[in-house]
Structure 1
Amino acid sequence: MKLNHINLTVTDVPAAANFLETYFGLRNQGGNKGFTVLFDDDNLVLTLMKAGQVSYPGTFHIGFVQESEECVNEIYQRLKDDGFEMKPPERSHAWTFYVQAPGGFLVEVLA
């Protein structure tokens, strides 16, 4: 069985969708300021639903596994150049870093 749908509640649907499209290649399949549908390369359906507040548990995050440490470094640099604040990649369970996405959820990038 394959997981193929996830819904995230976010405070800003357009900003969250743009972030996921820009840095992680998700494709927007339409929506509005309150709800949008994104797909990844394996056709995972990621829906974003607007809420006034978002309160995920402290360790909650979504992750994007990259092909190499160099890819992780490239995404980190793009985010940093665009003004996102985060700690640089480090060796943990993988070569990884975390970034707070617009809309109120955490993203891990790792290889």
Structure 2
Amino acid sequence: MKLEHINLTSTDPSATADFLCTYFGLRNEGGSKSFMLVRDDNDMVITLMKAKKVDYPKTFHIGFYPQSEAEVDAIAAKLKEGGFEPTAPSRDHGYSVYVEAPGNFTVEITA
């Protein structure tokens, strides 16, 4: 059995959807001001539901796993060009950077 759906709460579902599509290759399947749906290449669905306040636990995050450290670096550089502030790479459990997504949750990028 594989995981095929995740629902995330976001303060700005449209901006979150744009972020996930621009930097991580997901496809925007549409929605409204209060609800957006994005899909990855394996047809896993992420729904983004609007909330006035998002308060995930400090360690909550979602992760993307590119194939190489060079890809992690390329994504981090693209994020910086887009005005985001990814962390410096670390080697805690892989080669990782983290970034705060629009909508108020953390994204991990690890090879």
Q: Residue in 1 aligned with 2:78?
A: 78
Q: Residue in 2 aligned with 1:29?
A: 29
Which consecutive unaligned segments of at least 5 residues does structure 2 have? none
Question: How is 1:87-102 mapped onto 2 (pairs within 5 angstroms)?
Answer: 87-102=87-102
Q: Residue in 2 aligned with 1:20?
A: 20
Q: Residue in 1 aligned with 2:104?
A: 104
Q: How many residues get paired?
A: 111
- TM-score, reference length from structure 2: 0.97
Q: Residue in 1 aligned with 2:2?
A: 2
- TM-score, reference length from structure 1: 0.97
Question: What letter matches 1:25 in structure 2?
Answer: G
**Alpha-carbon distance between aligned partners in 2 of 1:86 and 1:101, rounded to the nearest angstrom:** 10
Deviations 1:21-61 (A, max 9, x none): 00001101110110011100111010000000000000000
Pairwise CA distance, 1:87 = 1.8
CA RMSD of aligned residues (A): 0.7
**Alpha-carbon distance between aligned partners in 1 of 2:36 and 2:82, rounded to the nearest angstrom:** 24
**Alpha-carbon distance between aligned partners in 1 of 2:42 and 2:89, rounded to the nearest angstrom:** 26
- Residue identity over aligned pairs, in percent, reads 57
**Alpha-carbon distance between aligned partners in 1 of 2:43 and 2:49, rounded to the nearest angstrom:** 19
Q: Residue in 1 aligned with 2:48?
A: 48
